[in-house]
Amino acid sequence: MRMRSRLTAGGTCPGSLREDVGATAILFAVFVRYDPDADAALWHWGNRSSSDNEFYFRYPSFQDVHVMVFVGFGFLMAFLQRYGFSSVAFTFLLAAFALQWATLVQGFFHSMHGGRIHVGVQSMINADFCAAAVLISFGAVLGKTGPVQLLLMALLEVLLFGLNEFVLLSVLGVKDAGGSMTIHTFGAYFGLALSRVLYRPQLEKSRHRQGSVYHSDLFAMIGTIFLWTFWPSFNSAPTMPGDGQHRTSLNTYYSLTASTLSTFALSALVGEHGRLDMVHIQNAALAGGVVVGTSGEMMLTPFGALAAGFLAGTVSTLGFKFFTPVLEAKFKVQDTCGVHNLHGMPGVLGALLGVLVAGLATHEAYGDGLGSVFPLVAGGRRSATAQAVFQLCGLLVTLTFASVGGGLGGLLLRLPFLGPPPDSQCFEDRIYW
Q: Footprint of its own copies on residues 290-349 (CB under 8 A)?
A: 299, 301-303, 306-307, 310
The reply to whether 283 sits near its own copies by the rule CB under 8 A is: no
Determine the interface stretch with its own copies among 95-103, 167-175, 193-201, 382-390 (rule: CB under 8 A). Answer: 95-103
Q: Which is nearer to its own copies, 93 or 352 (CB)?
A: 93
Q: How far is the CB of 206 from its own copies (least distance, A)?
A: 18
**136-155: contacts with its own copies (CB under 8 A):** 147
405/99 Cα distance (integer angstroms): 20
DSSP-based three-state secondary structure for 291 = helix
The reply to whether 166 sits near its own copies by the rule CB under 8 A is: no
Determine the interface stretch with its own copies among 65-73, 160-168, 192-200, 409-417 (rule: CB under 8 A). Answer: 65-73
**236-275: contacts with its own copies (CB under 8 A):** 241-247, 249-250, 253-254, 256-258, 260-262, 264-266, 268-269, 271, 273-275
CA distances from 10 to 38, 84, 148, 361, 420 (A): 39, 19, 8, 54, 11
Q: How many helices (H) and strands (E) does the chain have?
A: 20, 3
Cβ burial of 30 (10 Å; 0-12, 13-18, 19+) is: exposed
Q: What number of chain residues touch its own copies (CB under 8 A)?
A: 130
The reply to whether 23 sits near its own copies by the rule CB under 8 A is: no
380/87 Cα distance (integer angstroms): 49
The string over 125-162, giving b where at least 16 C-beta atoms fall within 10 Å of a residue's C-beta and e elsewhere, is: bbbbbbbbbbbbbbbbbbbbbbbbbbbbbbbbbbbbbb
The reply to whether 97 sits near its own copies by the rule CB under 8 A is: yes
Q: How far is the CB of 53 from its own copies (least distance, A)?
A: 5
DSSP-based three-state secondary structure for 129 = helix
Determine the interface stretch with its own copies among 60-68, 162-170, 185-193, 324-332 (rule: CB under 8 A). Answer: 60-68
Q: Which is nearer to its own copies, 131 or 402 (CB)?
A: 131
Q: How far is the CB of 192 from its own copies (least distance, A)?
A: 26
**353-392: contacts with its own copies (CB under 8 A):** 364-370, 372-373
Among 1, 11, 205, 396, binds its own copies (CB under 8 A): 11
Cβ burial of 79 (10 Å; 0-12, 13-18, 19+) is: buried
